Structure 1
């Protein structure tokens, strides 16, 4: 509405009202808005764990970012199956999804929302010009926006590039343009972010920009058809030489330094020193049915005791295939009467085998088909349950990028011919991870063992269920082809090749119906 005298330009008089003006009144208030940018990747709405969602069209808990990252990047691979029959969910492991799939649609919307939140924050915070803290906030928001676009590029390829708040229907950009934007942003903010280790836990510093550049360049041949392994090595080295370190702490002396990474006190037990970018969860103050609450509950069923995992029950959903279990065949220390492995020298082989079948006959509603995974728990290093006394919600933080991944990036980029890579250094880095897993040097390798397929299998052993696998298989040309098969790949019990267009997810049909500027990905 308009007025000649400005009488209609009113501000709320309710003393309890808190408006956009208040949010960006100063750096202290703006920090609360920055928290929302991180929270929109960890949580799902305004009330939590459910009831007032940020996006619609899908169950709120299911729509959480890392839960969908697991669904799209792990369930579509050899790492996981799920027995539930939610619409669109069985299609993921069968690799038969369409443009109306709830999960690929929700992920597109969730990432688009993150971009919108970041654009708004950057615009408003830029007007403050208050102090160094605000500059850090803006750089963090730019990192989170670049991270969202990295995922959009990885999963959907050609998406609109929007950097300002606008009501105009955006045009479609190419994957090359999105790649260039992510690269340019990360290079621009690397020196604007706090230095290595200088930020609060849970917030990113300059090492996160280097780490994402390491990932970006490692996948450049897939994204833009260019060999940028030398660049991947450059930024991998910068991360490796930063203040972050591989966690070798076994706080109680009864487990392993590896399992400390996925416990309820992983923000303080030493694991945090390895986490370059992590999403924080707390069973009382940040509740969601996604995140690690999902990873813990959904992986419990059959003869498993939920109390051992610090929760009140299992959801009898997630298991793994023999393809993942077999990656640990060199470390088997015991088998059952049928000859299937039940114990391993490598502590990273975190499987529950009692009353579980090694092979899968039926995915749907048969939790005992396939070994269960015990990687994530809601207990601390001393066995104490997380903060939620009811056992519903989990405290365990979830690493999105950790130093071990960058070690493996270095090794792979070296083998792929990146200039400056050193094979002996790559072997030493991988042996550091394997010594943590084995607890000694018995699993160490030498330069003759280091091949591209070995590195891929080592990524599987180290990073399974952390949202990486689909991208890795695509980089190796194993995702859709017959070169590598796993149980129920493409819906076949023994695995089968599928159409090459499956390396991308479709743009949502609902989005295409609204924005006619967009063209669907091939095959859909």
Structure 2
């Protein structure tokens, strides 16, 4: 069992959230106004509850309910279509050029991977609702930890001394949820702890969300724990810096402003926080990535535990799903021999990024023998190559505790991404040092056992985009990257099954943001549909 921030202690608390949601959401079907969860005053008679309720905010990233991986605390939304990391993976990776899901009868997957989505897609509803539940849980924690509330409960000095850091973490988790809403949907219901319960929330667009997230993350800096000094699985300064760096790198998309200099500055802050690359690339994706050398690299994980936090999250999906239908190689990666029968494969364009000098590159986990590279029929699980990046095996030769629900944490943010962001921001005119940028890229190549070092002439923006795919594939970044490079919509770059064409076709520009789910608009009349849908 993993030693980490114990989100499993909040199971009973999450049940309170479920009861509260169920009791007051009949008219809205999902989180009412996305901010109506309430907590019992009796809960805080035990001062340990403050940390446990904070853990509940984190738990929403991993858990979907209290009765195992198949339960959901979002009314009328299935657990499989609303686990935060899983739907994030779908909207950011399955929609792009790296991944194919074989079983298109699974709700919403066909439309996402063929770029045919509509406002009725259940995966989009899951993403919208789960992010807003994070906001609701954070807001409630903040309401319950004001000075007035703490005074009324006569909270001890020792606990009160912890509250500023707890509140900063809750605000960070709320800011992160708004960041994903800004990126994926371009707008969000906007609620803070200062808003009255049961009020109809206003809607913030990208410019307003950008301003709020930036101001929040800057405001909480002094109260956050220093980088790498918090419990594993809890946020610290580096997590806030990571969100800021990503916002600034994509600021031209979000608000039409070049913020590459700020991106580079925050990359430097993260790098200066004491992180280092894992000694082995694959350590980042193994069952003991909370204790092996990956702890030096992972900045923020979504926790997965095959015993205490069972869920159908991204690592469970990817490890079981990437077991080949021909290879039946599940025993090698610590799940059932057949896994999920070839559910996941990779698209041709991703495979081609590993042509040439990548045969011994440890990032190249492609399995191709006996398989055609092309996927002419998505339901044919024997066509297309598979990969074995994620594993439920440990770096010491063991395996996770369960053969379905894996122990492998999902590395939402890690240092390798920061290295590549630094290089890209430098190339986009953000300053910094050319030799430093080159050194960071080649450090990744050295770690990957690839002797093909990049020269200054080879360090171009197009190279960085390809290298980001080689380094960060299946980590929920690709859609965002392609949009920033103007290669997601339009016809500048087509991949297999883009736009439902077997060889790829152009996508309309409005597909750079997803539609607002119909059910979410019904819940809040202030929400309007994105242009083009």
Q: TM-score, normalised by structure 1?
A: 0.89
- The question of 1:330 aligning with 2:350 is answered no
Match of 2:333 among 309, 318, 323: 309
Alignment of structure 1 residues 88-487 onto 2, 5 Å: 88-126=108-146, 127-128=149-150, 130-164=159-193, 166-248=197-279, 257-302=280-325, 303-312=327-336, 313-315=338-340, 316-332=342-358, 344-363=359-378, 365-388=379-402, 391-418=403-430, 420-438=431-449, 442-487=451-496
Contact kept in structure 2, 1:322 and 1:358, CA below 8 Å:
yes
Deviates more, 1:346-355 or 1:371-380: 346-355
> 1:27, CA displacement in angstroms?
4.8
Could you tell me how far apart the structure 1 residues matched to 2:302 and 2:532 are?
34
Equivalent residue in structure 2 for 1:28, among 24, 45, 48: 48
User: Relative to structure 1, is the Cα distance of residues 453 and 29 closer, same or farther in structure 2, using a 3 angstrom cutoff?
Assistant: same
Quote the Cα distance in structure 1 between the aligned partners of 2:285 and 2:42: 38
Q: Secondary structure of 1:394's match?
A: coil
Aligned equivalent of 2:504: 495
Q: How many residues align?
A: 480
Give 1 or 2 for the bigger CA radius of gyration.
Answer: 1
Offset of 1:510 from its aligned partner?
1.2
Cα RMSD for the two superposed structures: 1.4
Three-state SS of the structure 1 residue aligned to 2:212 is helix
Match of 2:107 among 82, 87, 100: 87
| Structure 1 segments unaligned to the other structure (5+ residues) | 1-18, 249-256, 333-343
Partners of 2:377 and 2:150 in 1: how far apart?
58
* CA shift for structure 1 position 476: 0.4
CA distance in 2, matches of 1:516, 1:80: 36
Q: Give the Cα–Cα distance (whole angstroms) in 1 for the partners of residues 82 and 229 of structure 2.
A: 32
Tell me the distance in 1 between the aligned counterparts of 2:382 and 2:113.
17
Cα contact 1:346–1:438 (8 A) shared by 2: yes
CA distance in 2, matches of 1:301, 1:246: 30
1:59 has 2:74 as partner? no
Q: Give a deviation string over 1:210-255, Cα, whole Å, max 9, x none.
A: 111111100000000000001111101111111111111xxxxxxx
* Residue 516 of structure 2 is aligned to residue 507 of structure 1: yes
**Aligned with 1:416: secondary structure?**
helix
Provide the TM-score with structure 2 as the length reference. Answer: 0.88
Higher helix share: 2
Asked if the contact 1:190/1:210 (under 8 Å) is kept, the reply is: no
Provide the rounded CA distance (Å) in 2 between the counterparts of 1:23 and 1:355. Answer: 58
Cα displacement (A) at 1:330: 3.1
Tell me the equivalent position of 1:252: none
> Secondary structure at 1:399's aligned position in 2?
strand
* Contact kept? 2:81, 2:122, Cα under 8 Å: no
State how far apart, in whole Å, the 1-side matches of 2:525 and 2:317 are: 36
Cα distance between partner residues in 1 of 2:514 and 2:139: 25
